[in-house]
Amino acid sequence: MSEIMEKLYFYIQFPMVRKALIVGVLIALCSSLLGVTLVLKRFSFIGDGLSHVAFGAMAVAAVVGLTNNMPLVLAVTAISAILLLRTGTNTRIKGDAAVAMISVGALAVGYLLMNVFPKSGNVSGDVCTTLFGSTSILTLSKKEVLLCIILSAVVMAVFVLFYNKVFALTFDEDFARATGTRTSAYNLLIAMIVAAVIVLAMNLVGSLLISALVIFPALSSMRVFKTFRSVTVCSAVLSVICALLGMLVSIVTGTPVGSTIVVVDIFSFLIFYLIGLLKEGVKK
């Protein structure tokens, strides 16, 4: 035990580790806040779909030779988010099919481009890092850290200011629109926030695991808590704890960061599920 504490103390001295922990916590916080809305609107897989689009955008940016790919990736992901999250019965292709088409298409095209126009010697390594986020959170440049912090602050501010609108839109969009709320504007805002969070979260857990970061904390909280506010707060707190724990464990044991965080999330879900069952049992 003391050996683990020694290692931890040793690693915390590294500025890149401290940066990673801060950014990781912020990303986990933002994803969990959005997760509650996305899960309830039955858009759980949007994280997956959008992250694959971001992967495709990154591949294009690499091929074209952009040094800073964030603006392009954010723009492309935001546009896809707006297209995919557009609720409306007048879309020809239904929600889940649209997500699947765009997500798989982007992944395939991205991988193809990366192989046909390789910019670095280690294509499979790059792909692996982007898909699974092995050490990307530990290798952030100062600029990227700053961008993450700013985006997280914006996401959290928007969420706090528009909490009531988000609730109304999540519970009953038709009612909100019928009673005078400008739902299309708020949906646009939510879509852009989702895109920003997805692009940020790719740094922490990689494309393939983003959905876990978004949905697990929300699902866990919903097992135990009964009001929207308590579900949201619990989801945020849980996500931060799991991300912190996951990152520390992975740094000390050398396991991949993304998968470790997700495994911790899974454990917490099981624990909350059991607590939920017990609560119901006690009530009866």
Partner 1 sequence: MALIACKNLTLGYGGRVIVKDLNFAVNTGNYLCIVGENGSGKTTLMKTLLGLTPAISGGIVLGDGLKRNEIGYLPQQTAVQRDFPASVYEIVLSGFCGKSGIAPFYTAAQKKEALENIRKMGIFDLKGRCYRELSGGQQQRVLLARALCATSKLILLDEPVSGLDARATEGMYSIIEKLNKEEKITVIMISHDISAALKYATHILHIGADCFFGRREEYISLKKAEVTDNE
Partner 2 sequence: MKRILCLSAAAALVVALCSCSAVDNGKASRSGAKTVNDVLNEAQSGDSGKTDNSEGEFVGDGEKSIADIKCDIDLTKMESNMVTATVNDFYINPENYIGKIIKAHGTFGVYEMPGRNYYLCVMTDPTGCCSPSVEFLLKNERKYPGEYPAMDTEITVIGEFETYFEDGKKYCQLKDALIN
Residues near partner 1, by CB under 8 A: 40-42, 90, 160-165, 167-168, 171-172, 174-181, 222, 225-229, 231
68 binding partner 2? (CB under 8 A): no
Name the CA radius of gyration of the chain, rounded.
Answer: 19
230 binding partner 2? (CB under 8 A): no
In the list 256, 265, 268, 269, the residue contacting partner 2 (rule: CB under 8 A) is: 256
With contact defined as beta carbons under 8 Å apart, do 34 and 193 qualify? yes
Binding partner at 90 among partner 2, partner 1, none, C-beta below 5 to 8 Å by kind: partner 1
* Number of other residues whose CB lies within 10 A of the CB of residue 161: 10
Site string for partner 2, 117-136 (x = CB under 8 A): -----x-xx--xx--x-xx-
What CA–CA distance (Å, rounded) separates 27 from 59? 23
If the CB atoms of residues 30 and 158 are measured against partner 1, the closer one turns out to be: 158
DSSP string, 9-23: HHHHTSHHHHHHHHH
With contact defined as beta carbons under 8 Å apart, do 85 and 42 qualify? no
If the CB atoms of residues 124 and 164 are measured against partner 2, the closer one turns out to be: 124
If the CB atoms of residues 178 and 270 are measured against partner 1, the closer one turns out to be: 178
Least separation in angstroms between residue 128's CB and partner 2 is 4
If the CB atoms of residues 109 and 156 are measured against partner 1, the closer one turns out to be: 156
* Number of other residues whose CB lies within 10 A of the CB of residue 1: 5
| Structure-token pair, residue 167 | 């609730």
